[in-house]
Amino acid sequence: MTADEKYMQEAIRLASLAAEHGNEPFGAVLVKGDEIVCTNENQIYTSSDPTAHAELGLIRKFCAGTGITDLREYTLYSSCEPCFMCSGALVWMKLGRLVYGASDLDLGKILNTQGSECSRTVFEQSFWKPEVTEGVLRQESIAVLESYFENHEKG
Ligand SMILES: [Zn+2]
């Protein structure tokens, strides 16, 4: 198992936990060097905050807790491609590298919606472009999304 797969496995585990906790199945892990420095899961329902996505919540938690706001030396692992809002936030924190499992197009197929290349679109139009690796443990990530959205509407 590669390092990317190891951290993605943790992001996917957090995605499953989020669903167990009554939220949507998305998880995120922040890594510097070979150390996990912050993790977070989706909390949109338990916090009654439609913006409480795994990635955005992680950024708020990590930056507020450490005072660090420039993350060019960090890698964010997200179980699913960050949405437009979260991708925008990754620009503002100058993230060094983004790794995700399922894409938004994969999610769109599961939800019977269009989906889009959100992170690519945001980064292409922005002053800051994180390095991107997509599709790490993609099938595992899709499986978690499918099992949840079989029985739930998207919030
Ligand atoms: Zn988001």
Q: What is the pLDDT of residue 64?
A: 98
* pLDDT tens digits along 2-18: 999 999 999 999 999 99
Distance of CA 136 from the midpoint of ligand 1 (Å): 18
The pLDDT of residue 138 is 98
Task: Identify whether 55 is a catalytic site residue.
Answer: yes
Q: What is the pTM of this model?
A: 0.97
* d(CA 92, ligand 1 centre) in Å: 14
Whole-number Å distance, alpha carbon 82 to ligand 1 midpoint, is 5
Residue 55 Cα, ligand 1 centroid: separation in angstroms? 6
Contacts of 137 (CB under 8 A, 6+ apart): 5, 8, 9, 12, 101
Q: What is the pLDDT of residue 27?
A: 98
Residue 52 has pLDDT above 90, yes or no: yes
pLDDT at 153: 87
| First-to-final CA distance of the chain | 34
pLDDT at position 29 is 98
pLDDT digits (tens, 9 = 90+) for 58-74: 999 999 999 999 999 99
pLDDT at 102: 98
Task: For residue 44, report the phi and psi dihedrals to the nearest 5 degrees.
Answer: -65, -35
Kindly state the average pLDDT of the residues 136-148.
98
What does the mean pLDDT of the chain come to?
97
Q: Does the pLDDT at position 154 exceed 90?
A: no
Q: Which of 35, 55, 117, 134 is catalytic?
A: 55
